[in-house]
Structure formats: C-alpha cells, structure tokens
Chain A
Amino acid sequence: MDKPSHLSVIVDLSPTQWAFCAQSTAPPGLPLQTFLSQLLAFLNAHIACKDENTLAVFGAFPGQSVMLYSSTGEAMTSTTEATDPNTYRPFKTLDSTVMSSIAERFNSYDVTEEEEPIGLVGCLTKALCYINRTISVVSASAQGTEGATRSIDPRILVLSVSPDQSSTYIPIMNSIFSAQKLKVTIDVCKVFGADNVFLQQAAHLTGGAYVQIERTDALLQYMMMSFLPPPAIRQLISVPTQDRVDFRAACFCHKRIVEIGFVCSVCLSIFCQPVPVCSTCRTKFPIKTLQRLNASRPLATTPSTPGTPRPLTQKNGAALPRPG
C-alpha cells in the first residue's frame, strides 16, 4: 500500500485569465502570486509524504507548454542555488526552479501580441509521455527487486482557469484514452471560471476528483484534502467526484460543443448537422437517411445559432493548437 507515487501537475498560466481571476469580486479573487505560493506548499507536501515520491510540473502558457520542473532533473535550469539551513533542500530546489522558470516565461512574453489559445493539451500530452517513460524505466529496473510492487501510482492534476476550447476536443479525448490505458488518474481543480466540460469528462473517465473552488482563500485546504491522497488511499478516504458530468462532445466539423450530434456509423465521428460524406473516413451516406435526419432535427440547432446553451466556444478556436 505504501508505494511511491508520481504526480504531474499542469498549471494553467494564461495571463488574461489570471488577470480576470485577480480582479474578480463575485467570488473573491485570487492573485497569481498567492496561488503560486499555495501551489508550492502543496507540491512540497507531496514530496514530503515520501522520499521516493516524484513530481513533474508543466506550465500551460498561451500557445506553449513547458516543463517547469521534474524530480528527475530534466528541466533543471542551472540556477544558482542559495543554501538555507532552515529549509529541506529538495523543497528549496523545487520552489526556486518552478518560480524562476515561470518568471522567465512571463518576462519573455510579448504583451502586444494577440493571445494564443492556451497550451493545455500540449501539457497533458507531455505529462502522459513523461509518465509513460517513467513507468517503463521503473518496470525495467524493478525486475531486480520485488517486481510489480515497485510500480508507481501515477496521476495528473490539472489546475485550470481558462474556459473550454472546443477546438481541442479531439486531442483531449485522445489524451483521456491514453490515460485510461496507462491507468493514470486525472484530477481537475477548477480554480476560476465556469465548469470545464472536457476536463470534467477527463476526471470522470479516469476516476479522478473534480473540484470547483468556491472559496479561493481555502485553496490549499481544498488541494490537501482532494488531490494529495494517492490512489491507494482514496479507497479509504474518498475524494470529491461529480454527481453530474456534462458529457457533451464537440463536433468535428465546426468544433462546437453540441447537445445533439450526428455520428458516423463507421468511424464514430461527430457532426453538428447531417453530412452526406463523413469527413474523417469518407463514407458516403444514403440521401434518404440525410433527408430523414434533417427532417427530425429540432429547429433550435440550426447552424446559424450557437449549438450550445452556454457560450463556451472561443472565436479563434477554429485552429488546432499544436502541442509543444
């Protein structure tokens, strides 16, 4: 039961959203600085739990995804380490590495440019790749010791502030499927903003916790109770999951989140309106079926009106952001 666990943390660092979050008054706002200090305490707590616990931190920046820290030391910038007898050194290294790499990114950020969509999917993919690599290394080295008992319990925590980008539906779903295959739990913490449909699904499908922060001043307590327990402990102490998951998907043709979609019977691609030819697998559908489907469509979901009750789509969401 007491085996080391790996945690990959994905931090959404969209400057615009954090500015909104800091100015928000309806739920009291949370400045990025405060958020980061609470985050570092949480990361330290994870490392503190067990000496062999590993950690990777990924930052999702507009149009970029960056590894900020990993306990295997890949993202280590050659920081000049000031030593401090009052602090446990791994904590010190972790804190300074994460802070300096975030600062570095923000300094190089050009304010005048139009903000690109956030590189959340890139982070998710990188985290999964990283976990995959760690697992294969561990299982190779564990042959010598007690075999399967040495395996790590990997999980991913996504700290999100940005709204959904419907354009990233397909890559997010693909990540979820790979996470399921790798037995990686995805936890989601929505620090600010409305519920995130895709991340909700990610947490639900991988058995992770989904928490919408209601009181930002208690963020650390939320994180400690919901996201610190490794999967083994979650059998004994439950973590908050959702009763109602928004299972809506985004269509492949316009990247809109739809309530009623039309699914290709061959490749299961989703469309917001009946199409004569599937754009993914090129299957041709009989004209009669098309007519029947068109006739049965509710009027509200004509292509001219937004297909979702909530305006979650972004104007510039049509282009797929490239991971990395």
Chain B
Amino acid sequence: MSSFTPIKEIDEEPIVDPSLDFNKVTELVAAPIESAKPPREWLMAFGVALALLGVLGASIGYLVTFGIGTWGNNNTVGWAWDITNFVFWIGIGHAGTLISAVLFLFRQKWRTSINRFAEAMTIFAVVCALMFPTIHVGRIWVIWWCLPLPNQMSMWPNFKSPLLWDVFAVSTYGTVSLIFWLTGLIPDFATIRDRTKNKIAKIAYGIVSLGWRGSNRHWQHYERAYLIFAGISTPLVLSVHSVVSFDFATSVIPGWHTTIFPPYFVAGAIFSGFGMVMTLMVLARELFGLHKIVQPRHLENMNKVILLTGSMVGYAYMMEFFIAWYSGSEYERFTFINRAFGPYAWAYWTMISCNVLSPQLFWFKKLRTNVKVSFVISIFVNIGMWFERFVITVTSLHRDYLPSSWNYFRPTIIDIGTFVGSFGLFFTLFLLFLRFIPMIAIAEVKAVLPAADPHHGAHDHDHGHAHEGAAEGHPVPAE
C-alpha cells in the first residue's frame, strides 16, 4: 500500500484525480453513507431487488415443498439451470479476489479504486452460488451430510468425489473472501465511526471497527496479514474454478471429459467477473458521483482484462473442437458438431457472439475508453457467460449414448423464478452494501496518493526521485 507518483517521462497518469487530498477522499466515499436519504434511484432499485428476493423465496419454497420435479430437469438432462446458475455465480465471484489479491501481489496500484467494490460483489455472488447446489439436492434438510460431521448413519462423506471437493472449495473460498474483505474494512469502518453524528451508527460502526485507532503498531501486523491474505487467496481463486470444473472433467460424458477444463474455467470466471464488476461499477459511479476516484483509466484497464480473458475463452472453444476431432472419438465429435448445429445451436451461437466477438471491439482504444460501450459489452459478457455454462451442461447431456434417451430441456416457471430471484438476492445485498459500507477502500486510496509518501515534501515535488528516497535510508516494509 505505498504511494504512487506518476512518472512524467512515460506519460503515466495519476491513479485518482490530482485534485483529491486525504480529506476529499474521505468526504467523497463517506457521502453516500452519511446522506440522510438514499438517492431516488437507489430506493427504486432496492424495491425491485426486494420484489425479486420475494420471487426467490416463493420459488424455493415451492421447490422444497414439491421436489425437484418442479424444475424442467428430466432423466437425460439431470443437471440444468441449477448447475448453470451455480457456475455462473461462482464465476462472477472470481473478479473480486483477482483484483484484491492477484493485482495486489503484482502491485497494480490502480486496483485500490475498485477492490472493495469487487470484493463485495464476490461475496454476494458466492452467497448466490452456494444456494444452488444446496437447493438442488432435493432433501435440503440433510444437506449437512456433505460436511464431515458425525451422523446417525455413522458414515462419512466420500472424499474421492469431486462434488465433495466442490463443497470444500466453495465454502473455503466464501469464508476466506469474507475474512479478507472484513479485514480491509476495519480502518474504513473506523473512519465512518469518527465522522457520524448519529448515536446508533456511532455504536454500530464502533463495534465493527473493533476500536481501530490507526496505530502504526497495528498497521504493521495488519499489513502483513493483508499480504498473507493476498498470498493465500491467489492460489485459492485459481483452485476454486478448477475444482468446479472437476465436477465435469472427472466424469465420462463427451464434452465434459477434457483436461482443458480447469484453465478454461478459470479464464472464463475472470472474464465473467470483470464483466459484472464493469456493469455495477459504471452504474454506481454515475449514481454516487465517484468519477474522481474511478477514472476512465480504471475502466480501460478492466476492459483490457476482459479482452484478454475473452480471447482465452475463445481459444478454448476452438481447442475443444480441435481435440474432439483429433481424439478420433466419434462420441466427442458428435457432441461438438451437435453443440454448434444441433437443437441448442441458438444457445451456442449466442455464447460465441457475446463472449468471443463482442470483447474484440476493445482492441480499439476509442471503444474501450467509452463508458457507454463498456457498459453494453459488459452486459453481453454477462449474458454470454451464462450461456457458456448452459451450453456445457445441457448440450453434453441431452444427447445420451442411447438415442432412445435423447431429450430436450425446457425450463419451467420455477426454474426461471429461482434464477431471476437469485438476482434479487444479489442486488438486495449489493444495494445494502452501497448504502451502509464504504464502497471504496478509503485507507488504501489515500495510501496511493502522491502526498502519502513521507518524502513527498522533502524532495519538493520532485516526482522522479520520490521512490529513491525510500530505497536510501528507509527500507520499504512489506506491503
């Protein structure tokens, strides 16, 4: 978390607007929490989100009462929207950890403007994701058999099953992301505590900030903890979607049984996560006037990641086809030809145009720095990545080895209600976050301002030499 001074010689731009000082950062970020009333748009969105949350509750209630038969799943297509939605949400979660952990290790200081936001999104997406495998077991009241807890059967879970690996991977991911996020929030909660005039808010923020007093003796251990979290979250985020892909890859279904799945799923997850961060960031930035902190530079950087991971996903699609042909397995060949030209061709080509074609527009600087274009493409990415999971899950299953079992999956109203309702859950949590929790990491943004460098004044704004000072007398501590 060291300061950032742009190097003039190579036309580097400052991370946040140069007019910002420490106090202005606090004011800007605290404003949405401290305003007496939320913006009208927020209230309207919150109403819609609550209504959708109600739809989710009704759908799940109906499902638990009447069973999995209320979904469109059939004998041949045993996994459909439930798993599609699970993978969709867990993928969205990946951007948060990538931004908070991987970009931290690579010292990408621009991440400070968007990491809090993306991490919150991660946690809420993981909540939505965890819901789907939980409800799809049918007998939801014995879901705890997934955990290694003593039970009346004296049996333990089967640790050779990738589905159980998934339980551990996703719950660990959710827990670690939550701890990481809350750790980052401690100093910012303290900021709100010290500013608020409201008595109840003062007590509430006082408790969650744990009595933080900005002590440097605390910062020392805090920063090390942050570094360790980043260090362990990096392999974790790469492992989660790999384990999710094992659910498919360790089976013997044509179209699933491939070794390309782990890296291909991870790239897709980052792709979809950045898509969702972009969608939400553009909206929140407009709604709460955060243009000075979230600058076009941040959006451009995210678009570059979208372009890169989108191209990786496109490469994986091509490679799947090549391997299907190269393997010589007639089942593999049939599956892929069927994917592109069979009954679900409409889904396949939706996926290709959203995921592979639309991000290619970001090769043009004009387009990737345009907020409106970024927003539209991010929506396409969200749609495309949902279809990717649908295509993988359903097209591989609906044509079984026996043609007599061939079937076609159609969602029921309960399927649709659960999926649409999961957005209600996500946005309810997200809107509450925007209203009550600092949506930008205040302390981290301050730390990258040029003025945060203790040698800033000493060298009289000589930017070129600012970091040399740190190297001379005062070794840089771990960030």
Chains A and B bind each other: no
Listed in ascending order, the chain B residues whose CB lies under 8 Å from chain A are none
Listed in ascending order, the chain A residues whose CB lies under 8 Å from chain B are none
